[in-house]
Structure 1
Amino acid sequence: MLLSLRLYNIALIDSLELSLKKGFSVFTGETGAGKSIFLSAIDSLLGRGFSSSSSRLIRVGAQEASIEGVFTLDSEVKNWLNENSFDFDDHDELVISREWKFKDDRLMSRIRFNGQIANRKQLLALRPLLVDLVEQGQSHHLYSSGHQLSLIDNFGTDEIDKLLTKVKQKWDKWYSSHIALQIAQKEFDNSEDEFIAIQSFLDDINSANLDDPQEDLILTKEQDRLVHGVRIYESLLSLFNRLKENSDNFPSALDHFYYCINELKIISKLDSSLTSHLDNLFELSNGLDQFLKTLESYQMVLESDPNKLDDVQNRLSLLNRLKKRYDLDLPGIINRRDSYLKELSSGNTLKCSLKDLEQQEIAFRLERDEINSSLTKLRMKCAKKLEDNLILYLQPLGLENIQFKVSFASSIPSSLGADSVEFLFSANEGQPLASLSDIASGGELSRFLLALTSVLAEVSGSKTLIFDEIDSGVSGRVSTAIAKALKNLSRYKQVFCITHQPLVAALADHHFSVSKTVENGMTNSKVLLLQGFQERKSEIAKLAGGDFEQASIFAASLLDNKAA
């Protein structure tokens, strides 16, 4: 049950807090006053309208907005929270909040359950356990065969849920065997072509003697070194001339070191504290000597094979051709080679014979069809119960000659069974049954939607039902019937209804009036809980319209007689 709703900077509302109670509540007011804000706020709070519509819901000029709803916790909601690792500290209330904030011209949103961060997927999963929102514009969903089938499944509750679990298990089992058979059949059909392709690939790779997955990178570095060999050789000579080779006028770096060592030897004899410096100088000299030997070794390799550049470039060209041919890098080519060798060594690419897989697929298909048949029978049983219950609900709503039937047809098997359904409808005597989408008027659809919601409410997990002008397009005794249906529904569900019908408003337990004012150049919507007979009479009189005195008398009679 929804206990309270708090809005901040939402549409035409700057700040509002509503305390809500069980029973039947209505929202009334002139067109454009903002009655639908209540519905839109609940819808957005519980996960719909996540992006562009959220920005339209935020009050003009506001940089942040929020909606907070407080719900009672029943066993189903507690179980869901536990299963999804949300802590509710043994409280009996669940606070769901949703905040929006503009940051760098982007709208950011945050969702919390009792202060704990949640995501939209979790919010949408929890939503059916809290609220069922019924809009007249929802009627198009009724035309979908998939949606109609889900309604029957919902009506079947636990019994169908348990069978659907088994159906999915049998489907998954069959589907896995079906895919395995298809793969094996394809491999069998293409085995000869695949063998030729694999052998051709292996011949290419084996002739190239590939072993090192980094060979192309190593060769590229070697190529760069060889291409610039002359420049490198000249630089090495210059280094040797300065560091090692001497001339009459220019002693080498080694000559300088030797001179410095001799001088330091002489003066260290005069001052023993210089001995450690002499050791350091020896280390530096040895380091330079080792450095020169390393360069000399590098120079010998550089000079040893002048034709190596051609060999490196030819090898690189071969590797690049292989990479381009097979659209793989070198590690990928080597991995594929190893995989093919392993596959060929197994002696058989099929894990089991086609005959075994065919027999397995047939056995699993029979199991799938058998459980699907059981599901169809149960769905037909639930559909018959839905038909009977709906007719009982629809007849008092001004549809005395109503006919309703669920037509079943076979469909391609899936994890949801093998059924396709269509709701057939006839509102008038002598009129044959036809698809609901083809013959139902707007008023008839509204009543059908109310009756359907009422029937499903008995098995629905949600404790709160919200109707948006479900009484639109009807009048007179039908309005009275709708009002009574909503009132009856509120005995075991919390019911909210946005209405323009005085007959519906008069029967409510709680009546909220929505009005619009302009303050300081800004339009604001106000929501007021009407207290007492006079306030409600005045509001219902406005709904009734016409001569004010007559409307007031009419409103008073409705309240006195509770729309009897």
Structure 2
Amino acid sequence: MLLCLRIENFALIDQLELEFGPGLNVLTGETGAGKSIILDALDAVLGGKVSSRVLRTGTHRALVEGTFAVNPPLAAWLSEQEIDLIDDNSVVISREITATTSNIRSRSRVNGVLVNRQLMVGLRDRLVEITAQGQTVQVGQSAQVRDWLDLYGGEALIEQRHKVAAAYNAYHQAHQTLEKRRTSERERLQQLDLLTYQVQELGAANLADPQEMEQLSQERERLNHVVDLQQMSYKVYQDLYQNDDESPTASDLLADSETKLNHMVEFDSQLETLLELVRDAQAAVVEVGRQINAYGENLEADPQRLEEVEERIRELKQICRKYGPTLGEAIAYYERIQVELAELNDNEQSIEILEQQEQAFLQYLLEVSQQLTQLRRQSAANLEFRLIAELKPLAMDKVKFQIDISAVAPTATGADKITFMFSPNPGEPLQPLTEIASGGEMSRFLLALKACFTQADAAATMVFDEIDVGVSGRVAQAIAEKLHQLSSSHQVLCVTHQPLVAAMADRHFRVDKQVINQGKGNKTSNGSAEQRTVVRVTSLDNLSTRREELALLAGGKSANEAIAFAESLLLQAANHRQIKEKG
């Protein structure tokens, strides 16, 4: 979740710091007020493309810094990237953009660590999903579209995808074996010599049990402490069963207790259960005493065996240092190189045979991929129906949507190319969504898609730029309710002109432009102070300011009717939240 966004010298923004919260965060303001600049800055800090135009006129350096809440999966991913957390709750991402005489440069940092673009792409996917006018973001990513469809298909489809991955790995291994066989004879002989030596060394070590090291260590401890074990076992025997000084043992005490309970049972049969427990305890003590006595009598010091154990441990440690680091891994390596050595020694196995094996694995891969395709077609039909139902209330009641699944060369994820096909208007043919949909249509499409995939998105923050363009009335209300629905599981940032949408906000920000004087050091040619346009953002934290802004959105001025309408919107939004919370 985005906690804070700090911007310096970015487009019309000189300095700006915004604090966001969970739920639905809305930015409103007149057209051209600078709302999209804020979203552009957020896109930039997450690795989006930038040009020299993002630098504020008269400056050569811009800085955007975002602070995000950290969840356990994100913390684990950052740890894998060797990036330390500043604290357990947040991560700070910054991007510095500087202009030189010939080009523009930028540097991204995560918690102060300089990172490359590839890492920023991975981090962006885990933090924010931005959908703005003219952008296709995740909908245009074929891998993401495929993953969405597979997740929507449920457990059976995911299981089949795992089968395809296993089949592809088997085919890939067969292909690698074939290619390895085609390498030069000199390389084969060099590898043969190495593996022969290793197999002989590991074979001579007689490796069989991955737990042998632990077992030997225990045996060494026992052999090193034979006298102590004998003495302690005899003492335990005396305490439990037979004591040399004729003091009562545990067995004697339990026998005495049994006698007393026998008398007590004559008067109260409820004690029969306790009597049985004492009898069982006495039998157990006697058995323990017998076994510990036999154990102590059988213990013998064996210096020769101790030396054998020590020598074996030294030998296994040497093996682990070379082929481990654990004994289990050394055994697994031994088994693997035995197979490799057999392949290298199999001079009778021709390339033709290996080619036949490769084709057999390929045929199986094609079969399981075809089964995966069938499951995907079923999932696609269900998703098409659901998505069209989600689109209809969003002023897209005539829309046609189809998931096209075409064949491609098989990979670990199947043999399908998946494309979203779309037609917003009656009589128009279906075409790829990313090619035909307008910015507003794309935004509303993704909003509907997110309603279908509320639990499938990894990103904690979803950003929508003017998804309400060209709609009003019930459609705007439907958009507002969908945004509120999404904000129950994700943080949502939304730029809107609709009072119906803005009224649903958990946090409301007003964006506008202001003209300011630069100060004493900046004068025009006639000596007057230089004026500059800047973007300012006001957090509408109280009911009065929110009502005023909603009235402006609704009526263009703070007329009584507009104020009344704004109050009704806020009341309607509050009622909607209460209903959802109770539901």
Distance 2:13 2:464 in 1: 21
| Distance of 2:60 and 2:420 partners within structure 1 | 47
Q: Within 5 Å, which residues of 2 pair with 1:66-215?
A: 66-88=63-85, 91-102=88-99, 106-139=103-136, 142=139, 148-153=145-150, 155=152, 167-168=164-165, 170-171=167-168, 173-174=170-171, 177=174
1:554 aligns with 2:551: no
2: distance between equivalents of 1:465 and 1:424?
A: 23
Give the letter for the 1:58 counterpart: L
Task: Assess if the C-alpha contact under 8 Å between 1:397 and 1:482 holds in 2.
Answer: yes
Question: Deviations 1:428-468 (Å, cap 9, x if unpaired)?
Answer: 8x979844649867655443221112323321111111001
**Offset of residue 497 of structure 1:** 0.4
| TM-fit CA distance, 1:528 | 0.7
What's the TM-score, normalizing by structure 2? 0.60
* SS of residue in 2 equivalent to 1:137: coil
Q: What residue is the counterpart of 1:5 in the other structure?
A: 5
| SS of corresponding position for 1:457 | coil
Deviations 1:137-161 (A, max 9, x none): 1259757866643542464689867
Give 3-state SS (helix, strand or coil) of 1:37's partner: helix
The 1:515–1:494 alpha-carbon spacing in structure 2 relative to 1, beyond 3 Å, is same
- 2:453 is paired with a residue of what secondary structure? helix
Task: Quickly say closer, same or farther: Cα 1:8–1:426, change in 2 above 3 A.
Answer: closer
Provide the rounded CA distance (Å) in 1 between the counterparts of 2:436 and 2:112.
49
- Given that 2:443 and 2:464 are in contact with CA atoms closer than 8 Å, whether structure 1 keeps it comes out as no
Ranges in structure 2 where 5+ consecutive residues have no aligned partner = 185-346, 518-530, 577-583
Equivalent residue, structure 1, for 2:413: 416
Structure 2 counterparts to residues 347-496 of structure 1, below 5 A: 353-399=350-396, 404-424=401-421, 434-435=430-431, 437=433, 444-496=441-493
How far the C-alpha of 1:538 sits from its partner, in A, is 2.1
SS at 1:82 equivalent: helix
Render the CA deviation track for 1:306-354: whole Å, top value 9, x for unaligned: xxxxxxxxxxxxxxxxxxxxxxxxxxxxxxxxxxxxxxxxxxxx99634
Structure 1 CA distance, aligned partners of 2:464 and 2:88?
A: 29
Which residue type is aligned with residue 22 of structure 1? Answer: P
Task: Give the structure 1 partner of residue 495 of structure 2.
Answer: 498
Distance of 1:525 and 1:30 partners within structure 2: 12
Distance change (3 Å), C-alpha of 1:503 and 1:119: same
Q: Tell me what 2:548 maps to.
A: 538
Question: What is the aligned partner in structure 2 of residue 47 from structure 1?
Answer: 47
Post-superposition offset of 1:543: 2.1
Q: 1:378 Cα shift?
A: 4.2
Q: Who is 2:245 aligned against?
A: none
Q: SS of the residue aligned with 1:454?
A: helix
**What SS class does the counterpart of residue 97 from structure 2 fall into?**
strand
CA contact (8 A) 1:404 1:433 kept: no
Whole-angstrom distance in 2 between the partners of 1:146 and 1:157: 17
SS of the equivalent of 1:508 reads coil
Tell me whether 1:529 sits opposite 2:526 in the alignment. no
Q: Which runs of 5+ in 1 are unaligned?
A: 188-349
Identify if the C-alpha distance between structure 1 residues 489 and 62 changes in structure 2 by more than 3 Å, giving closer, same or farther. Answer: same
Distance of 1:143 and 1:16 partners within structure 2: 32
Paired with 1:395 and 1:54, the residues of 2 have a C-alpha distance of 38
- TM-score, L = length of structure 1: 0.62
Matched positions, count: 398
Residue 48 of structure 1 aligns with an amino acid whose one-letter code is G
After TM superposition, give the deviation of residue 63 of structure 1 in Å. 2.3
For the residues of structure 1 that align with 2:45 and 2:92, how far apart are their CA atoms? Answer: 11
SS at match of 2:515: strand
Report the alpha carbon displacement of residue 126 of structure 1 after superposing the two structures with TM. Answer: 1.1
Q: Deviations over 1:465-502 (max 9, x none)?
A: 10011111222211110011101111111101011112
Q: Does the aligned pair in 1 maintain the 2:131–2:137 contact within 8 Å?
A: no
Could you tell me which amino acid in structure 2 is paired with residue 101 of structure 1? T
Calculate percent identity across the aligned residue pairs: 42
User: 1:368 Cα deviation (Å)?
Assistant: 1.7
Indicate how the Cα distance of structure 1 residues 495 and 141 shifts in structure 2: closer, same or farther if over 3 A, else same: closer
Which segment drifts farther, 60-69 or 368-377? 368-377
Q: Does the 8 A contact of 1:46 with 1:123 survive in 2?
A: yes
Using the TM superposition, name which of 113-122 and 411-420 deviates more.
411-420
Once residues 453 and 433 of structure 1 are traced to their aligned partners in structure 2, the CA distance between those partners, rounded to angstroms, is 25
Moved more, 523-532 or 164-173: 164-173
* Counterparts in 2 of 1:14 and 1:425: CA distance versus 1, 3 Å: closer
- Name the CA distance, whole Å, in 1 between partners of 2:419 and 2:2: 34
Residue aligned with 2:469, SS: coil
